[in-house]
Amino acid sequence: MLITLRRASRYPSPSPTTLRPFTASSITRTRTHSVLENGTSSLHQQTQLPQSFTHDTLLQNKRVLIANRGEICMRIARAAKSLGATSLSVCAPEDASSPHVQFADEHVVLEKGETAIAPYLDIESLTRVAVENGVDFVHPGYGFLSESAPFAQSLVSSGIEWVGPPPEVLQLFGDKIQARALAQRSNVPVVRGSGNLTSGEECLGILNNGDVRLPAIMKAAFGGGGRGMRIVRDLSQVASSFDSCQREALTAFGRDEVFLEEFWEDTKHLEVQILADGKGGVVHLFERDCTVQHRHQKVIELAPARNIHPELRRRLVDCAVTLARQCNYKGAGTVEFLVRGDLESPETEFVFMEVNPRVQVEHTVTEEATGIDIVQAQLLIAGGRSLEDLGLEQENIKLRQHSLQARITMMPGKGEILNQYKEPSGSGIRCDTAGWYSGFKPNQMYDPLVGKLICSAPGVTSESFEAARQLMLHSLKDFEIDGVANNIDALERILTHKDFIDNRYNTSFLTEYPELLDPSKAKKTQTEHGSAKRLYSEERIRFELTPPMTGNILDVKKKAGDEVEVGEVIVVLSAMKIETEMVSPVKGVVTEINCKAGEQVSGDTIVAVLEGHEEIQIDTTAAEQIGRSTASASSSAVGSQSSDPSMDVWRASDEFVHVAANDGGMTLPIIRSVPASQLNDSKAQARKERNSALRDELFSKVDAVKLGGGERSVALHRKRGKMLPRERIAAIIDPGSSFLEVAPLAGGDGLYAADGIDDLPSGGAVAGIGLVHGREVMIVANDATVKGGTYFPITVKKHLRAQQIAADNRLPCVYLVDSGGAYLPKQAEVFPDKEHFGRIFFNQARMSAAGIPQLAVVLGSCTAGGAYVPAMSDESVIVHKNGTIFLAGPPLVKAAT
């Protein structure tokens, strides 16, 4: 059964902002910005490109279904919204918590499939969703069914516009064999290759006959995106490589056909972005350099290619445009080439690889280099616009700047929940991401792409490239991802490698320098005095083999009782749509196999148990140069003794660590806590009593401020049917969870005694962090029992401090507003400028623009500053009967005159 969830459009047509009371069944949303309801950011993607098409009204009030997930779903939803269309996202049941689901105007939960990916590949189900929800367009994004001719035909037959090439063109380029034939007919150079193969034996026969020479590459005939590929350098690898390639192709694309091509090594991978209108109009948006790859997955992309000769560029783009014209192409596409030789030479050799008949992951770097919004253009072309209508004549398309793109991805290992997540921002920086946030648990059954970081610098010179590279390095340092293993450090190493800086790299770059991806894989040093030798531990160990992440077992290579060597494959795991081989870390025997093919396993599942001896690698030369030692037990502790008795708990032990350095050793003390049993009893007891007294005093003060502004004020407050601020917060946060309050004792200790105010409990506002549906949220609640919830100088400081915490940690803000604005007798100290009281509203605007949701609930009579908070929020709710907003009244007029 299909479950359809709808809500009011997040992008209403422009109209005067209105605020209405709400009952349990009606909520008014106002000034809705493009932010997620669950607090996801990704708003850096919204930077408008110089040549966007938002003036075009073709898609006004149309409905666009996005048959994809993650960052590309959000990118398409944003483009649809900018053109006035309503977006509809879909998700597998296992994917329902992913941010892309809520980002669109509406969403549909698909039927559960045999795997987490299956619902995204179900043509019948997706077509039914499109028809039942009355959509006008379907945009497939990339991957999944983006190159599926049957899916496109199913939609076209249902009267729905397919955002992409027509089905017959998808069929042509979906079959890499047919695509090669078209290239040959069009005089576009290709490498030697085979037809579709059915088995490893057939593949072996072609290689033995010399029809294709080693090294060769196996490719998914109906795939792309770097998946379903295996390089073969030895005939003994053919059978296993074919099986693995076929499985990965079937998982990623739903088709398992594989073919063979000769493998060009030491090449550049360049691709040309094209746009075509299906009416004879074809333009190119220049080339991209996608040479930096790992296992055929692009890591860093550049637009344009560096130092390319104008004639070589002309030859490449002419081939791309010719292929598009030959097949009456429509929409966005990419024509990929391998280039062997110097890019600065006009006669450098190149060959056609394939056409990707869809938008690509790296379209964003071309958008930044040219200033053209490719996704908007796709949608409008699908609606019938010509390139001429869009003003996209070839002579008007220019390169405006150098752009670099780094793909931020999850990596195996570490945890599964984001402890911290923060994207960089600033001039020249763009982030197209999957909408992650602190506390989010990414679904590891899908693509590991977190998002794309694009950095640009004006001009197309060596200086502009270097400026973009430096900006990328700074931005990567500002990209905070903690809790989930990622590749940010690896990207920094790549960008600072001399070969990358000097443009002396090719597609084997990361193979030649594996330490760029993993420092532990640095090549071992060897000298005439010593070389690496392998040893095994004397002790026999028991090793439990666990997956690096959640995934599906594809194959079990060993059984209990099998003897194994270090590095032998035990289990093959499919995770993040990529195969991962789990290998033996010992020389020994398999004692248990606890999994079977087809099972889903998590990171803590013990899939196999082995017993044996660990491999020890010793570099004898390094061993002579670097030694480990410990100082003698008689060595004295480092540091002086403090007169503070509490410092007696900490001391330096008599153990030391010797750290080798190139110019000598450095000795550091190991710092350890002393167990309470070893402390002087009298001192420990004295500290315990003092700390207990301080704790009791703190709890007493906190309990006192929870009573609010006094019995009379609380009674009047409750008579109006209102809850106290902490009661309101308790009703909002997740049941059983705690509330981490900020500065609960602010406003105490006679701060305003000179004004005749003995105490200002909690400064007149309660603020802190709580969990709402498992998401950390900053809540600021006025306490109307304390001087009507008005703002004193300390209230302003507390509110600003809460906003600072929220901004630093990207926490959505919920304002429980019940305030009369500034406390008028102290108005001379509550300045309305943006550095004091007015800073509250300035912060709301800045956080909203940065993708941090600002939500307000009006719970009482609110005026002046109390009215500005909901007015500056992304969404506001007014409580029926109690909530009102006004900007003036007798007290305010009297005070002002």
CATH of the domain at 612: 2.40.50.100
Specify if 537 maps to a domain.
Answer: yes
pLDDT confidence bin for 8, thresholds 50/70/90 = very low
Q: Give the gyration radius of the chain's Cα atoms.
A: 32
Do both 727 and 864 map to the same domain?
Answer: yes
Max Cα separation, the chain?
100
Residue 196 has pLDDT above 50, yes or no: yes
The long-range contacts involving 748-753, CB below 8 angstroms and separated by at least 24 positions, are 748/701, 748/705, 751/794, 752/792
- pLDDT(645) > 60: no
Distance (Å, rounded) from C-alpha 767 to C-alpha 439?
Answer: 20
Q: pLDDT band at residue 658, thresholds of 50, 70 and 90? A: very low
pLDDT of the residue at 779: 96
Answer with the residue of higher pLDDT: 830 or 592.
592
Under 8 Å between Cβ of 411 and 481: no
Please count the residues of the chain. 897
- pLDDT of 638 reads 30
Question: Which of 125-134, 319-328, 731-740, 845-854 shows the lowest mean pLDDT across its residues?
Answer: 731-740
What pLDDT, in 10s, does the model give residues 786-797?
A: 888 888 888 999
Cα–Cα distances in angstroms (integers) from residue 293 to residues 142, 263, 354, 516, 574, in the given order: 18, 15, 17, 12, 20
- Are 706 and 573 part of one and the same domain? no
Q: Count of alpha carbons within 13 Å of 504, Cβ hemisphere only?
A: 6
pLDDT at 240: 81
pTM for the whole structure: 0.62
Reported confidence tier of residue 654, pLDDT bands at 50, 70, 90: very low
User: Hey, how many other C-beta atoms are within 10 angstroms of the C-beta on 223?
Assistant: 26
Instruction: Give, for 713, the enclosing helix (H) or strand (E).
Output: helix 711-719
The residue assigned the tokens 């660590």 is 657
Asked if 610 and 710 sit in the same domain, the reply is no
Least confident of 69-78, 204-213, 345-354, 883-892: 883-892
Give the pLDDT score at 801.
Answer: 92
- Residue 613 maps to a domain: yes
| pLDDT tier for residue 694 given thresholds of 50, 70 and 90 | confident
Among 341-350, 504-513, 658-667, whose mean pLDDT is lowest? 658-667
Write the CB contacts of 102 (distance below 8 Å, at least 6 apart in sequence): 36, 37, 38, 40
Q: In sequence order, what E strands does 319-396 have? A: 330-340, 349-356
Which of 590, 618, 646 is the endpoint of a domain? 618
Task: Confirm whether 456 is domain-assigned.
Answer: no
Beta strand 401-414 with 297-303: parallel, antiparallel or unpaired?
antiparallel
Distance separating alpha carbons of residues 612 and 19, to the nearest angstrom: 71
By CB atoms closer than 10 A (0-12, 13-18, 19+), residue 357 is buried
Same-domain status, 612 and 708: no
pLDDT digits 0-9 by tens, 488-527: 999 999 999 999 999 999 999 998 998 999 887 665 443 3
**Which tokens is 379 given?**
């949608």
859 and 729, same domain (yes or no):
yes
> Is 31 within a domain?
no
CB atoms within 10 A of CB 732: 17
Please check whether residues 609 and 705 belong to one and the same domain.
Answer: no
> Within a domain: residue 269?
no
At 233 the pLDDT is 86
CA angle centred on 74, ends 273 and 253, rounded to 5°: 65
Q: What is the pLDDT of residue 352?
A: 96
Contact 112, 103 (CB under 8 A): no
Report whether pLDDT(290) > 90: yes
Asked if 375 contacts 381 with a C-beta cutoff of 8 angstroms, the reply is no
Highest mean pLDDT among 458-462, 544-548, 566-570 belongs to 458-462
Task: Determine the average pLDDT of the residues in 414-435.
Answer: 91
Q: Of the listed 69, 230, 255, 358, which one is catalytic?
A: 358
Looking at per-residue pLDDT, the higher value among 328 and 697 belongs to: 328
Q: At 702, which helix (H) or strand (E)?
A: helix 681-705
Beta carbons of 247 and 554 less than 8 angstroms apart: yes
pLDDT for residue 141? 97
User: Among the listed ranges 186-200, 327-341, 350-364, which one has the minimum average pLDDT value?
Assistant: 186-200
529 pLDDT band, cuts 50/70/90, is very low
The domain that holds 749 is classified in CATH as: 3.90.226.10
State the CB neighbour count (10 A cutoff) for residue 723.
16
Mean pLDDT of the chain, nearest integer: 81
The whole-number average pLDDT for the span 255-272 is 88
- The per-residue pLDDT for 641 is 32
HSE-CB of 414 using CA atoms within 13 angstroms: 16
Helix H, strand E, coil C: the string for 490-509 is HHHHHHCCHHHHCCCCCCCH
Q: Strand (E) positions, 104-175?
A: 106-109, 137-139, 161-162
Q: Provide the pLDDT for residue 528.
A: 36
**Pick the residue with more confidence: 71 or 114?**
71
Last residue of a domain, one of 618, 637, 659: 618
**Residues 216-237: tens digit of each pLDDT:** 888 887 766 567 788 888 888 7
| Tokens describing residue 786 | 């304390």
837 and 741, same domain (yes or no): yes
Percent of the chain's residues with pLDDT above 70: 80
Most confident region among 118-132, 189-203, 877-891 by mean pLDDT: 118-132
Domain count, the chain: 2
CB 789 within 8 A of CB 864: no
HSE on the CB side for 387, CA within 13 Å? 24
Share of the chain above pLDDT 90, in %: 47
* 129 has a pLDDT exceeding 90: yes
Whether residues 594 and 727 share a domain: the answer is no
Distance CA 104, CA 85 (A): 11
Instruction: Give the contacts of 698 (CB within 8 A, at least 6 positions apart).
Output: none
In this predicted structure, what is the pLDDT of residue 27? Answer: 24
User: Mean pLDDT: which of 126-135, 652-661, 681-690 is highest?
Assistant: 126-135
Residue 144 lies in a domain: no
Which structural domain range is residue 860 located in?
Answer: 701-896
607-640: pLDDT as tens digits: 999 999 887 654 433 333 333 333 333 222 233 3
Amino acid present at 31: R
- Rounded CA-CA distance 454/605 in Å is 37
Is 358 noted as a catalytic residue in this protein?
yes
Q: Give a yes or no: residue 846 inside a domain.
A: yes
Which helix (H) or strand (E) covers residue 892, if one does? helix 890-896
Spell out a b/e string for 771-803, using b for 16 or more CB atoms within 10 Å of the CB, else e: bbeebbbbbbbbbbbbbbbbbbbbbbbbbbebb
Note whether 709 and 804 are same-domain residues.
Answer: yes
Q: Is the pLDDT of residue 660 over 60?
A: no
Q: Which of 697, 413, 704, 436 is nearest to 580 (CA)?
A: 413
Confidence band (pLDDT; 50, 70, 90) for 30? very low
Among 264-278, 373-387, 807-821, which is the least confidently predicted range?
A: 807-821
Residue where one domain finishes, among candidates 618, 641, 657:
618
Q: In the structure, what pLDDT confidence band is assigned to residue 43 with cuts at 50, 70 and 90?
A: very low
More confident residue, 360 or 644: 360
**Start-to-end CA span in the chain (Å):** 66
How confident is the model over 461-469, as a mean pLDDT?
95
592 and 708 in a single domain? The answer is no
Q: Does residue 93 lie within any of the structural domains? A: no
Gap between the Cα atoms of 421 and 544, Å rounded: 32
Q: How confident is the model at residue 831 (pLDDT cuts 50, 70, 90)?
A: low
One domain for residues 765 and 873: yes
Residue 650: per-residue pLDDT: 24
